[in-house]
Amino acid sequence: MSQTVETPEDPILRASQSFGITPEQYMLPARGEIRMVDPSGRLLAPEEQGTGPGHEYPLPAPDVLLGAYEKLVVGRRVNDQNSALVRQGRMAVYPSSHGQEACQVAAALCLEEGDWLFPTYRDTVAVMTKGVDPMQVMAIFRGEWHSGYDPHEHHVGIQSTPLTTQLLHAVGVAHAAKLRGEDTVVLAMCGDGATSEGDFHEALNFAAVFKLPVVFFVQNNGYAISVPLSQQSAAPSLAHKAVGYGMAGERVDGNDLVALLATLRRAVDLARSESEPLLVEAHTYRMQAHTNADDATRYRDDAEVQEWIAKDPVTRMRAYLGAEGVLDDAAEQRIAAAAEDVATALRDGMNADVEIDPLELFRHVYTEQTPQLAEQEQFLAAELAREETGQ
C-alpha cells in the first residue's frame, strides 16, 4: 500500500528537501565562493567550483552566454564613454562600474519581463540591460531634475544617491505584488557599505517575516567609498548575514558572468516558487574611483588594482567563449561595433544643448501648487519677461 508524503508548509524545509539537504545546509552559503570559469577563461570541473550538496548549478546555454557577453561589452564601453563625458563637462557626476559589469548584466538578465529591478546609483549597466534607453539612464547624472525614465514602464526603480533606501522600496513593491496575487520577483541591488545601514536590516527582516519574493543582491567591491570591508563587518562573509534573518545566502565570484547567471537565475526561481527571500553576495571590484570626485589612491594602492585587472570579467568571458567556439572574430567585431554605436549615440545626445525652461522648477513639486510657490513662479516669470524685452 502506497504512503502519501505531505509537502512541508515551511518553504525553507520544502526547498531544502528538493535539493536533498538539511535546512541548515540550504540556508548557509556553499563551502566556497561559487565560480564556474577561472580568470584565464578555463571552465572549472564540478569539484573546483566551490559548491557542495544543494549548491550545484547548471551551465547556462551558449546562446544565453553570448548574449550576456554582448551586454557586458556594451556596458564596459558605456562606462568608459561616461567617464570621458564627465571630463568634458557634459555630465555632472558618474559613479563608474568599470569592473563590476558582470554583476549588473546578470542581475538584469535573470529576471522575467514582469519582475522588478531596484538598482543603486552605480548600477547604470543593469538598468540599460533591463531595456532602458542609455540617454534616459544618464539623465540623472547630467543634472536633470527627473529620473529620466518611467519606473512603471520598465519595472526599474529610480537610481538615487541615498544609500540603501532602494531596498525598502523593493520590499514594498514585493509586498504589494504578493497581496495582489501577482507572480512577481523583485531583485534589490546594494553594495557592501549598504549592509552597515539600518535600512538593510529593516528590509531583510520585513521580507523574511512576510515571506516576500525578493532577491537581495550585494555587490561587495571591498569598499564603502574609502572604508574597507574589514572595518564594516566581522562576519565570515556578507552572505552569512542571511541566516540571521531566516533566509538562504550564497556567495559567488562577481567577475564570473557564467556563475553569476547560474546563481542569480536559481535565486530568482526559488524566490518565485517558494515566495521566500534570498541573499546573494558577489565578490567584485570597481577598477576606478568611487566617482569623479573621489581620489582612490588615498585608500588603495596600484598593486591591489592590478591584481583585480587580471580578473577582469570582460577578458575572462571573451577567453572562455573563444575557447568554447561560441565567439569568433566575426561575432567579436559585430559586438564591438554594436557597443560603439551605443557609445556614439550617447556621446551625440550628451553633446546636444538642452533647452532649459526655468519655470519647470515649479511644475512638479506638489500635485496642487502651494500659494508660496505660485507667488515665486509669477515673480520669476515676470523677471524673465523683463529680460526678453530688455526692460
Closest C-alpha to 204, from 120, 116, 273, 196: 196
Calpha distance 106→85 (Å, rounded): 26
Give the bridge partners for 118, in sequence order.
Answer: 188
Residue 152 is a catalytic residue? no
Catalytic residue among 87, 146, 299, 364: 299
- Rounded Cα gap, residues 305 and 165, in angstroms: 30
Q: Are 147 and 125 in contact (CB under 8 A)?
A: no
Question: Distance (Å, rounded) from C-alpha 169 to C-alpha 222?
Answer: 25
Instruction: Please name the residue ranges forming H helices in the chain.
Output: 11-18, 23-27, 62-87, 101-109, 124-129, 134-137, 139-142, 151-154, 165-179, 198-209, 257-274, 302-309, 313-323, 329-351, 371-389
Residue 3 phi/psi, 5-degree rounding, is -115, 130
Q: Which residue in the list 35, 286, 316, 318 is annotated as catalytic?
A: 286
- Between strands 278-283 and 214-220, the pairing is parallel
The reply to whether 299 belongs to the active site is yes
Active-site annotation holder among 35, 290, 316, 318: 290
**Quick count: other Cβ atoms within 10 Å of Cβ 228?**
12
Is residue 76 annotated as part of the catalytic site, yes or no?
no
Instruction: Tell me which residues are annotated as active site.
Output: 286, 290, 299
